[in-house]
Structure 1
Amino acid sequence: MPKQSLTPAAVSEKHEKPCQPRTGLFPLWSRLDSYIFGEINRPFMMAMLVYNGIFFIKTLAAVAELSGGKFEIPYSLLILFFVSEIPEFLFITITMSFLFAALAGMGRLSTDSEILAPQVVGVSFWRLSRPVFVYGGLLTLFLLVIANWIGPMLNRVWLNESRNFSEIAMPNIQPGVINPLGKSMLYVDRVEEDRLADLIFVDVSEEKEEILIAEHASIYENRDLDLFRAVKIDLLKDQTMKTYATTEMTLSLPMPAALDGLGLKGAPRDLLDTPRLKRYLAQQTDPKRKRDLEIELYQRLFNPLICLVFALYAVPLGAKHARIRKGSGFGTSLVLIGFYFIVSKIARDAASQDKIHLLVGMAGPTLVFLAGGVILQVGKNRWWSQPLRRLQDRILYVMYKPINKLFNTLKKKKTQDAPQGGAAQTFIFPSRLDIYVTRSFLSIFFLVQCSLLVLALLVEYTQVGKYVTRNQIAPDVVLRYLGFKLPEMLDLTFFLCLLISTLILFAVMSKYQEVTAVRAAGGSLQRLCLPLVFCGLGASIFNFYISNTFLPYANRRATVLRNEIRQKSESTFSQDVWLKTAPGEIVNFQVYDHRTKRLLGVRRFRIGKDQPAMVERTELPQVVFRNNQWKAAVPGKRWAFHRDSPDQAMKPTVSAIAENDPVSLNIKHEDLMRKRRKPSEFSLKELRGYIRYVRELGYVEPSFQTELNVKFAQPLVPLIMMMLAMPLGFQFGRRGTFFGVGIGLVAGLLFLGLFEALRQMGGSGLVHPIVAGWSVVVLFGFFSLYRFVNLE
């Protein structure tokens, strides 16, 4: 069949048809834009997982500390509190994640020379920045919605729900110890099946003092207890006493004192969205209050815009043809974010103190960074950027030349001193490969750790910043507080940094075929991971040492400085305290004056051993510590209760206590001066002694026993995290590197989340302390060991 010829018109039509409709050389959104958008999206998701994961775990701890184990909180309220806390740090994490993702995405395109192809066909750096601007604009809109509407709405919902919960909160009753309930006290000797045995309840009000003693009690509903074989004693204001005996009665427990510390967000700046806040501002007449509300409004407007501003920095700082591990954006994003928040904080404080105009203080830092980004973008697209880049390279060469010369001299000397000949060694440790892997791991770890520490310190400073301005705290106090807070932040981020560094190291080595070269030379993956196994062991030993030496001291100093910043007194066993001083004996006092060694408002209760009944009640307005014993500073009274027969009601006999009469309280002066501390403020040895101490006072804190087990189990976490990351770092190819890192991050955050969740559940008494401290560590430890053994 003869070949059909085409006319010139047909040829022209054939070539033009696939191109219809023509959109020009630079369409509004092309495949290149989608490709760059995707390159930013992957590291952004990874960074959000990392940065938010740390604060999710920290917020989980704050949620668990709401009750401190003193009362039961429904899961719905815990979840609501967790969600309401997210907007507080979401602005920082989104901004930092976007800046890192933009720099990392453009850096990868530059490293693989993919950015050269668009430039060859005439695509400028301005055009390549378009998807970055779109990504930053979308995040800016999201943050604007969060700051102006969603955040205040969540605070309002949390406030309403927490108020409703305060009406039905049920105390978490612990047997054998004192359970303070505001101005009241509940003591249960033991639990028999589902009933509370030998219950003592004391309720003090302005009108009377009510004492209830029951043989058994069972929970009825909400805060109600059903009492069986109960005796009620009412001491009226005129010092007369009435006693009642009943076979069954109902007791409504008062509000737990811990509910006062729920931290309700009730200020208008926290609850009102922007339109309502503007109307509320128009009604204010106090200049200081108006300025505070104006600052809040400007913050909601200008702070989210920084994502769009940082989009200008992606192409100029990311397209440098540097290797990923050296130009991933961690260091650059760290410097930019830290500098921006420092400048914005200084400007905001100056504006709040009328040192500069309010608009200049709130908008100035954003405009300065906007100008810097525009200059970088213009310089990247103009002729004078090349001379500046050459000048920068020349300056760096002059700075690093002496250091390189020193290293070359040491390397040459080491080569000359090396023995010549001899039998070849089959196993050398550390080899050059081990040194290379260790050095690369430490460089990545340093960047990641610094990045997360800066982020953690920024969030911490934002939380205490309002107290600094309100209470006019000196800058050196704030700096010392942040300095002593740094070890706790290191302990919080240390494990996750080890995981991230291991994942990134092996992912990059896999991408550049370095792992393939090692295996082609006969090396195994386990041998390649050996230096990191030793690094993990070193990290575990370091964590154990620091958590039992410097960290408790730093936490105690940080607590003291935080109380100074917030102008809050330290918690001691010296104000409105209930103490179990001996078997069957409970002492309550209102205030202890340590200067004059006086106890004010002392009441002592003695309970019979054979049956639940009040044997004696002593009331002393003042007791003073003289000559190593307690003496009545003013006259007091003692009520002794007795029955003529078991079936008759109790009869009180009143006797007087004269001034200077000795009083047996079984309380040491040192005990009253000892401060209440958190478990994190103790080393292992100190924590064991403190647990015995509080038990002698009649208190039990499940969090202390749980923390004791955690202090033994936690040093294994660094090694487990690194061994968990090693197999995942080798998986997937070049296009799936971030996916492999993401899987490792999910596994690591799951491990840390479960570990922290069980830790808090153990602290609340819901899980046995041994299970809370060891279960997750043992489970993930065996899993990571199995994965490491089967690495090939």
Structure 2
Amino acid sequence: MSNANSQKQSRPDGPTPLRRWGLWPFWTRLDSYIFGEIHRPFIMAMLVYNGIFFIKTLAAVAELSGGKFEVPLGLLSLFFISEIPGFLFITVTMSFLFAGLAGIGRMSTDSEIIAPQVVGLNFWRLSRPVMVYGGLLTLFLFLVSNWIGPMLNRAWLEQSKNYREIAMPNIQPGVINPLGKSMLYVDRLEGDRLAELVFVNTNEEQEEILLAEHATIYETRDLDLYQAVRVDLKADQSIEVYETSEMTLGLPIPGDLDALGLKGAPRDLFDTPTLVRWWQSGQAPNTQDLEIEIFQRLINPFVCLIFSLFAVPLAAKHARVRRGSGFGTSLFLIGIFFMASKIARDAASQEKIPILIGMIGPAIMFLAIGIVLQVGKNLWWSQPLRRAQDRVGHWLTFPVQKLFDFLKKRKSDPELREADGSPAQTFIFPSRLDMYITKSFLGIFLLVQSSLLVLALIVEYTQIGKHIQRNDVALEVVLRYMGYKIPEMLDLTFFVCLLISTLILLAVMSKHQEVTAVRAAGGSLQRLCLPLIICGLGASVASFYMGNTFLPFSNRRAATLRNEIRNKTEATFSQDVWLKTAPGELLNFQVYDHRGKRLIGLRRYSLEGPDGTLIQRTDLPRVVFDNGWKAEVPGRSWTFLRDPNHKGEVVPRLTVIEAGESLALGLKHDDLLQKRRKPREFSIKELRGYIGYIRGLGYIEPSYATELYVKYAQPFMPIIMILLALPLGFQFGRRGTFFGVGMGLVAGLLFLGLFEALRQMGASGLIHPIVAGWAIVLLFGFFSLYRFVNLE
């Protein structure tokens, strides 16, 4: 009794200031519950947003591995990991904002948010678990941007230095393999050996030509040559010929590591304390850029904490959340914030405003907006703002609503049915349920697609931002480039958006017992999914049409504008080029003068003539095109053949080529004007023709054949994505709707990841192009169809 009295006496009679402001106790069951409601959609959003860029980065890694040199797996993995911090700040921020809006919105939908407000808890108190979640993410991003990111870049730099010693050329038979100042050509493979090898190495002192009947590759980046002939052409025009039954050839090392995405700038390698000390020392060449970099590292992580103020005021003010409001609102807020940040940062870098204002101005502005939203629950402008938001949403959905209202009216009009005179139907399509599902699916798809499209465009703009500032690119060029990038971004995110939209729609219908009502009325799940199947087929047709019409055109235009932004010339066959002009004919020139139609520094190699010739080398300083190729100045031609009068030894013979003499180079003038285009810049018909064109030049690569089969298989991916999502979208009950959504996202991203991995393996020549293009599509297609047929 005394203990009870003492506890009663020790308990305060009224609410203390800490209790009145909701600061004690600091953590309650309500906080844990809200924290959990945010966590699940956050994980789902991270899977979506990061999955897209993981696949894009995986493609860059696979393309790196399929280049001129084979890169070790450990270095590729390190390159992949070092690319993650570049987009993690954007994806984490957007995922957190969506998770906060979705979690609080779900509680508002089920009227769970009303009870805390009835007992007097204000927005500040309800926002506390959201702010704790945002604070943890802020701490994580702060560590990533200030220490982990630079540490990964330093590790990549240190490991890539060893790449020069261990890199192995990616040799492909029948294809010219340029290796810096050298060239390697292998006619064919015979078992595990290379047959009919030609190696040409040029330096200031001499030109070395190696011919070998067979060669074997070892991991030490050496070639063992058998029955080899070596010809050295000295700078003084003297010639030395060597023959040997066996010799070792050390292949050249990679000359340009920057092409591999090497991060060597101090701003990329130093952690923030080291970068600050270097900036303060005055030794940095551009202190303004370093100051901006330091402010970005320190301020950007706090964006999650700032956006934690927005979730409760925006999502808890109404009893019913519209479908996809989390995606739409997060899309709008993130887009506005990053646009304001980019404009302010560019203005600060151009010294139009102080750097401090340019870097912290957008964050302070959104912080003020969040505080106003927190305290503005009962202010006079709250309701007009909500009505304005509803009106804008009505305007955006008005065209789609009118279309569906017209279709429903025509479907249910009794006069039209009587005039038709048709008997009663046992199978009705489209029914009201079909119209409802289609409308809901399209609404969710548009919001998800818009969200991911804005995210992709933001990341793309941040990647070219430094080139825009450095090269003083006009705003018109930037806007045109971003406009032409939209089809490519749609192609990148299209399949994921179909997957997400299907999963969300079925999860919401399952949660609200709409699926149970349909099954109770005698409907099957397969019939319920019929409108989604039709949408998937329409998406497949749209994907095929887009991939063969305006997508290649927009990719070409975007590539041209990107070169203009980066101040680069287009990749044409015009400088230090090796070409295969005919069987056994290799041609190299240093420069092609487009205006004068002139080849400078031309060398031609003819292999294995019928008269015992091993190789014929023709050297022409200048060749001009005048109704055919002609020598503009005198040249020389050396023929190396086995002379029976000299015991079969290789003997050189010199022939002089006079000025004005016609030359049969096997090279068309129009070929030199062709741009080396990437496979994504072609339609199927154009790609088939281009494969034949580059095969004639000796530049056939497996990447083009692989991309051709990918273009045939890719239109089946939309319908496979929807079939894959249908069984998992109905997962509900004790495991919750997020279980099925999460599993569906994992399955879909696994499908896209494996498809992209095999695509790049085929481009590298590791597997056959048909297998690369069709294997994963057929495997997941049959699996998803089997799951759908057996859906219960």
1:68 to partner: Cα distance = 3.7
1:73 to partner: Cα distance = 1.3
User: What SS does structure 2 have at the residue aligned with 1:663?
Assistant: coil
User: What SS does structure 2 have at the residue aligned with 1:643?
Assistant: strand
1:102 aligned residue: 100
Contact 1:617 1:638 in 2 (8 A): yes
Contact 1:331 1:447 in 2 (8 A): yes
1:71 to partner: Cα distance = 1.9
- Cα distance in 2 for residues equivalent to 1:757 and 1:278: 40
Tell me the amino acid that sits aligned with residue 419 of structure 1. R
Identify if the C-alpha distance between structure 1 residues 40 and 216 changes in structure 2 by more than 3 Å, giving closer, same or farther: same
2:352 aligned residue: 355
Tell me the amino acid that sits aligned with residue 449 of structure 2. Q
Contact 2:612 2:641 in 1 (8 A): no
Contact 2:728 2:743 in 1 (8 A): yes
2:603 aligned residue: 603
Q: Which runs of 5+ in 1 are unaligned?
A: 1-7
Contact 1:728 1:741 in 2 (8 A): yes
1:417 to partner: Cα distance = 3.7
1:415 to partner: Cα distance = 3.7
1:229 aligned residue: 227
1:735 to partner: Cα distance = 6.4
1:704 maps onto 2:711 in alignment: no
Contact 1:61 1:760 in 2 (8 A): yes
Q: How many residues align?
A: 780
Contact 1:110 1:321 in 2 (8 A): yes
2:640 aligned residue: 641
Select which of 132, 152, 155 maps to 2:153. Answer: 155
User: What SS does structure 2 have at the residue aligned with 1:167?
Assistant: helix
1:632 aligned residue: 631
1:644 to partner: Cα distance = 2.5
2:456 aligned residue: 456
- Cα distance in 2 for residues equivalent to 1:193 and 1:113: 72
Contact 2:755 2:776 in 1 (8 A): yes
- Cα distance in 2 for residues equivalent to 1:121 and 1:743: 38
1:75 to partner: Cα distance = 1.0
1:28 to partner: Cα distance = 0.8
1:299 maps onto 2:289 in alignment: no
1:125 maps onto 2:99 in alignment: no
User: What SS does structure 1 have at the residue aligned with 2:368?
Assistant: helix
Select which of 238, 252, 255 maps to 1:254. Answer: 252
1:766 maps onto 2:766 in alignment: yes
1:311 aligned residue: 308
2:737 aligned residue: 737
Normalising by structure 2, report the TM-score: 0.94
Select which of 216, 219, 226 maps to 1:218. Answer: 216
1:196 maps onto 2:187 in alignment: no
- Cα distance in 1 for residues equivalent to 2:197 and 2:150: 44
Contact 2:214 2:226 in 1 (8 A): yes
1:565 aligned residue: 565
- Cα distance in 1 for residues equivalent to 2:611 and 2:39: 70
Tell me the amino acid that sits aligned with residue 79 of structure 2. F
Select which of 170, 177, 183 maps to 1:185. Answer: 183
Tell me the amino acid that sits aligned with residue 168 of structure 1. I
User: What SS does structure 2 have at the residue aligned with 1:662?
Assistant: coil
- Map of 1:514-553 to 2, 5 A cutoff? 514-553=514-553
User: What SS does structure 1 have at the residue aligned with 2:308?
Assistant: helix
Contact 1:107 1:320 in 2 (8 A): no
1:83 aligned residue: 81
Tell me the amino acid that sits aligned with residue 83 of structure 1. I
- Map of 1:368-383 to 2, 5 A cutoff? 368-380=365-377, 382=378
1:13 to partner: Cα distance = 10
1:74 to partner: Cα distance = 1.2
Identify if the C-alpha distance between structure 1 residues 184 and 526 changes in structure 2 by more than 3 Å, giving closer, same or farther: same
- Map of 1:135-150 to 2, 5 A cutoff? 135-150=133-148
- Cα distance in 2 for residues equivalent to 1:492 and 1:622: 46
Identify if the C-alpha distance between structure 1 residues 719 and 670 changes in structure 2 by more than 3 Å, giving closer, same or farther: same
Contact 2:484 2:558 in 1 (8 A): yes
- Map of 1:441-452 to 2, 5 A cutoff? 441-452=441-452
2:269 aligned residue: 271
Select which of 171, 174, 178 maps to 2:172. Answer: 174
Tell me the amino acid that sits aligned with residue 573 of structure 1. F
- Map of 1:430-449 to 2, 5 A cutoff? 430-449=430-449
Contact 1:536 1:722 in 2 (8 A): yes
1:48 maps onto 2:46 in alignment: yes
- Cα distance in 2 for residues equivalent to 1:692 and 1:402: 50
What RMSD over aligned residues (CA atoms) do the two structures have, in Å?
2.7
2:715 aligned residue: 715
- Cα distance in 2 for residues equivalent to 1:119 and 1:595: 77
1:256 to partner: Cα distance = 4.3
Identify if the C-alpha distance between structure 1 residues 390 and 542 changes in structure 2 by more than 3 Å, giving closer, same or farther: closer
Greater shift, 391-400 or 104-113, is seen at: 391-400
1:261 to partner: Cα distance = 1.2
- Map of 1:311-330 to 2, 5 A cutoff? 311-321=308-318, 323-324=320-321, 326=323, 328-330=325-327
Per-residue CA deviation, residues 443-474 of structure 1 (Å, 9 max, x unaligned), is 00000000000000000000000000000000
Select which of 108, 111, 114 maps to 2:112. Answer: 114
Identify if the C-alpha distance between structure 1 residues 754 and 412 changes in structure 2 by more than 3 Å, giving closer, same or farther: closer
Q: Which runs of 5+ in 2 are unaligned?
A: none
1:18 to partner: Cα distance = 14
Per-residue CA deviation, residues 397-418 of structure 1 (Å, 9 max, x unaligned), is 9979999999989977864644
Per-residue CA deviation, residues 363-393 of structure 1 (Å, 9 max, x unaligned), is 000000000000000012x454665467658
1:65 maps onto 2:63 in alignment: yes
1:622 maps onto 2:629 in alignment: no
1:337 maps onto 2:334 in alignment: yes
- Cα distance in 2 for residues equivalent to 1:397 and 1:341: 22
1:780 aligned residue: 780
1:652 to partner: Cα distance = 1.2
Identify if the C-alpha distance between structure 1 residues 386 and 64 changes in structure 2 by more than 3 Å, giving closer, same or farther: closer
- Cα distance in 2 for residues equivalent to 1:789 and 1:721: 15
1:580 to partner: Cα distance = 1.4
Contact 2:111 2:319 in 1 (8 A): no
- Cα distance in 1 for residues equivalent to 2:233 and 2:172: 27
Contact 1:201 1:212 in 2 (8 A): yes
Tell me the amino acid that sits aligned with residue 169 of structure 1. A
Identify if the C-alpha distance between structure 1 residues 68 and 221 changes in structure 2 by more than 3 Å, giving closer, same or farther: closer
User: What SS does structure 2 have at the residue aligned with 1:55?
Assistant: helix
Contact 1:69 1:765 in 2 (8 A): no
Greater shift, 320-329 or 78-87, is seen at: 320-329
Identify if the C-alpha distance between structure 1 residues 502 and 401 changes in structure 2 by more than 3 Å, giving closer, same or farther: closer
- Cα distance in 2 for residues equivalent to 1:437 and 1:325: 15
Per-residue CA deviation, residues 54-79 of structure 1 (Å, 9 max, x unaligned), is 00000001111224442211111111
Per-residue CA deviation, residues 303-346 of structure 1 (Å, 9 max, x unaligned), is 11111110010001011335455254100000000000000100
1:255 to partner: Cα distance = 2.4
Identify if the C-alpha distance between structure 1 residues 424 and 12 changes in structure 2 by more than 3 Å, giving closer, same or farther: farther
Tell me the amino acid that sits aligned with residue 678 of structure 1. K
1:655 to partner: Cα distance = 2.0
- Cα distance in 1 for residues equivalent to 2:84 and 2:740: 27
1:122 to partner: Cα distance = 2.3
Normalising by structure 1, report the TM-score: 0.94
Contact 2:34 2:103 in 1 (8 A): yes
1:160 to partner: Cα distance = 1.2
1:684 maps onto 2:700 in alignment: no
Per-residue CA deviation, residues 470-516 of structure 1 (Å, 9 max, x unaligned), is 00000110111111011010000000000000000010011111111
